[in-house]
Structure 1
Amino acid sequence: MGPWSLSLTGGLMKILAGDIGGTKTLLMLADVSHGRLSTLARERYTSADFPDLAPMVRAFLSDAGLASDGIDAACFALAGPVARQQGVDRARLTNLPWELNSTHLADNLGIPQVALLNDFEGIGHSLDDLPTEALHSLQTGQADPEGVRLVVGAGTGLGVCIVPPGHPLCVLPTESGHATFAPADTRQARLWQYVADQEGRCTREHLLSGRGLGRIARFLVAQGQSPGQSLGLALEGDDPAPIISQLALEGSDPVAVEAVALFLAVYGGQAGDLALGCLPFGGVFIAGGIAPRLLPRMQEGGFIQAFRHKPPMSHLLERMPIQVIGDTDAGLLGAARHAASLCQQPDQAR
C-alpha cells in the first residue's frame, strides 16, 4: 500500500490502527507527518486464532520486529457497538468472544491513547481522506460541503452511520440495520412475511447482507421460480451469496439476476428511507463488501430508482450525491485518521 494523504496537520507521530472483524483483522503501524501517512508494517490475522486483541497486537509488533514503545496512539474499528462512558470505550464484538476496554488496552500495550470505534464509525472517519479513484458515482446530485453525510453498507451485516458537519470530525454510529424492514410494494410485503415466518421478524439486515441475498433467492424459489443447477446447489449451502452475485453479473441464471435486482431495489429503498431521516446533502456513501462486487448492476439504475421513489419527497432525494466506496481499506484508513487526531487533541481523546 502506498502512502495515504490525511486532512490533518502536525509533526511526526506514530500510530497503530486496526480493522477488526469476526473473521479477519487488519493491523497497521504507520508514521504520520504533515498529513501524510506512511505504512511501517501491515498484517492480516485470523481473528479466532487469538483469545483477545492485546495478544494479537503483541504478535503483530513482534512479527514486524517492532515494539510498542514510541507509539503515540492507537485506534481499532470493530464489528459491534461501542459504549463510551467517563472517557473509556468498551465493546463486545458481534461474532467474537472478545470484550475490549480502551483503558485496559492502553495499560496492557503501553500506548498512551487508545480508542475503539464501531466499524462504520471507522468508515465515517475515512470520508475526508478517501482518494477519488476509490469512489464510484451513482448520482451526481448537488453536493453541499457543509451538509450531513450518511454511510450505509451491506456486507456480513448492515452498517449505518451519520457524519454531521463541523470540526473536529464527529461520527454518529447507529444500529439502524436492526430496525424493522418496511416493504415498498406487495412483493416486498410477501418477502417480509417469508422472512418473518422464519426469523420471528424481518429487519433490514435480514435482507441487506450476504445472508440476506441468499434469503431473497430462496424466497424467489419458494414463489415458484426455478434456479439453474449451479444456483440450486449454492442455495443448499450456508453462503450462496458469492455464487448468486457471480451468476447475476454473468446474466447466466434468471433467478440470480432477479434476486440481485430485488436485493438492490430493497437496498435503494432502505437507503432512501435512512436519507429522509437525516437529509444528507453532503453525500450518501454506500460502503460494505457487497456494493463494489455488484457495482455494474447498481449502475443500471434500479438502486437509484428505489432510492428516489419517496413521493412527495423525491425531489429532495434527487439532490443527494450518492457514491459507492470501492476501497475495502476505508475502515482501516478511518481508524488511522482517528488515531492521528487523538495525538492532536489529547484532551478530547474520545
Structure 2
Amino acid sequence: MARILAGDVGGTKTVLAIYQTDGGQLQEIRKETFPSGQHSRFEDLLLEFLGGEDGLAAAVFGIAGPIKAQRCVTTNLPWIIDAAEISAELNIPKVHLLNDLESAAYGILRLDQFYELNPHADEKPGHIAVIAAGTGLGEAILFFDGREHHAMPTEGGHCEFAPQNAQEDQLLLFLRERFNGHVSMERILSGNGFGNLYDFLKSSGFAKETPELEAEMQQGDRNAVISIAALKQQDALCQEAMRLFCRIYGTEAGNLALKSLPLGGVYIAGGIAPKIRSALEAGEFMQGFLDKGRMKHAIEQIPVRIVDNPEAPLLGAAHFASKVIK
C-alpha cells in the first residue's frame, strides 16, 4: 500500500486529496478545497494542506494551464508550478503535472455513471475522446494501446469554427468582425459563447429582446442569465442561443470523433454540460454530431456520454499517480 497526493488546480479553487492505493484501487483518506488566490505560492498551499504529513509516494496535479517540461506558468494565477521543485521541497519522490483536460480524461476511466445521448451506442474497446466546454473549450484523446489508455492533450478548441448552414455563415461573419479575424470554436463553445450567440441573434433581428432580462444581464453573469432563461423557455433569443450552442457543440464533438474514431466513446466533460443536460438531450446536439454527410456511418454507433461528476480531474490525477508508483 502507498499514499499519494492528487490535486485539481483551477484559477478559482484548488482541490487536494490524499488517497491510499493498493493494486490500482483508490481509497480517499482526506480531501480539502482551497481558494486558489489566497496563496502567493502553490507550495504554500500544499504545505498548509499536508500539515507536516510525509511519506507520500507520489503527487500528481491537474492544472488549468499549459505544461511544458513539467513546468506550468498558470494562466489565471501568479504561480509557477515546477514538478522538480515541489519534489525537492516537499520530499515527494515522484511529482507529475498534467493539463487539466488530461487529468479529466484519466478521471473518466475511474467513473461508471454517465448520461448517454446516443440511443444507437455500441461501446467497444478503443480510443476515447473527451470534449469539455467550460471557461474555455478543451479537447483530449485517450489513446488505447490494446491494454490501457494514455491521454493525449490537444489545443483542438482553438481550431476554426466552420459554418454548416446559412445562419451559421452569418454567425461566422459576425464573430469575425467582433474578434478581428480568426474565429475559434472556443468563441462559441464556452461560457462567453452564450453571450456571443445572443448578441449575434439580437443584431440579426431574430427576435426582440426582453427588457427585464436585459436589465438582469447588466447586474450579474449575463451568460448564466441567458442559459437559465433558455432552459426555462422565457425568451426567444435565449432559446435560440441555446439551440445553436447545442448544435455546434454536437458538430465539434462529431469532428473530434471523425479525427480519432473513439470506439470507446465521446465524453462530454466540463462545467457547462451538466447544467444544460436537458438541452443537450433534446436532440440538436446529436443532430450536429451526426451531420457528417457520407461519413455519418463511421460515428453513428459511438457512445456519446455526459460526464456530470465534478471530481473527474481529481480522480484522474489520483489515477495517474497510482500508475507512476508501479
What TM-score does the superposition give when structure 1 sets the normalisation length? 0.88
Shift of 1:278: 1.2
Give the alignment of 1:281-300 within 5 angstroms: 281-300=263-282
1:250 is matched with 232
Which one-letter code corresponds to 1:169 in the other structure?
A: H
Q: Is the 8 Å Cα contact of residues 102 and 140 (structure 2) preserved in structure 1?
A: yes
Would you say the 8 A contact 2:71–2:82 is kept in 1?
yes
How many residues align? The count is 322
CA distance in 2, matches of 1:48, 1:338: 26
Q: Is the contact made by 2:127 and 2:149 (CA closer than 8 Å) also made in structure 1?
A: no
Supply the distance in 1 between the matched residues of 2:15 and 2:213 (Cα, whole angstroms).
32
Distance 1:226 1:108 in 2: 59
CA-to-aligned-CA distance 1:312-331 (integer Å, 9 cap, x gap): 11111212110000101100
Equivalence for 2:194: 213
TM-score, normalisation: structure 2: 0.95
User: How far is 1:168 from its partner?
Assistant: 4.5
From 90, 110, 121, give the equivalent of 1:141. Answer: 121
Q: Does 1:175 align with 2:155?
A: yes
Aligned 8 A contact 1:16 1:28 in 2: yes
| Residues in 2 aligned to 1:265 and 1:259: alpha-carbon distance in whole angstroms | 10
Q: Equivalents in 2 of 1:215, 1:325: separation in Å?
A: 25
Task: Say if 2:85 is the partner of 1:104.
Answer: yes
Partner of 1:347: none
Residue 92 of structure 2: SS of its match in structure 1?
coil
Q: Which runs of 4+ in 1 moved over 4 A?
A: none
Aligned AA for 2:266?
Answer: V
8 A Cα contact 1:214 1:239, kept in partner: no
Q: Distance in 2 between matches of 1:271 and 1:117?
A: 22
- Report Cα offsets for 1:262-314 as digits up to 9, x if no partner: 11111111111121111112110000011111111111110000110010111
Specify which of 162, 172, 181 is matched with residue 192 of structure 1.
172
Aligned match of 2:283: 301
CA distance in 1, matches of 2:281, 2:8: 28
Aligned residue number for residue 138 of structure 2: 159
Structure 1 residue 122 displacement after superposition: 0.4
SS of the residue corresponding to residue 196 of structure 2 reads: helix
Secondary structure at the residue paired with 2:68? strand
Give 5+ residue unaligned stretches, structure 1: 1-11, 345-350
Distance 1:143 1:168, change over 3 A: closer
CA shift for structure 1 position 60:
1.3
Equivalent residue number for residue 28 of structure 1: 17
In 2, distance between residues paired with 1:155 and 1:50?
24
Which whole-Å CA distance do the structure 1 matches of 2:41 and 2:250 have between them? 37
State the match for 1:93 in structure 2. 74
Q: How far does residue 234 in structure 1 lie from its aligned partner after superposition?
A: 4.2
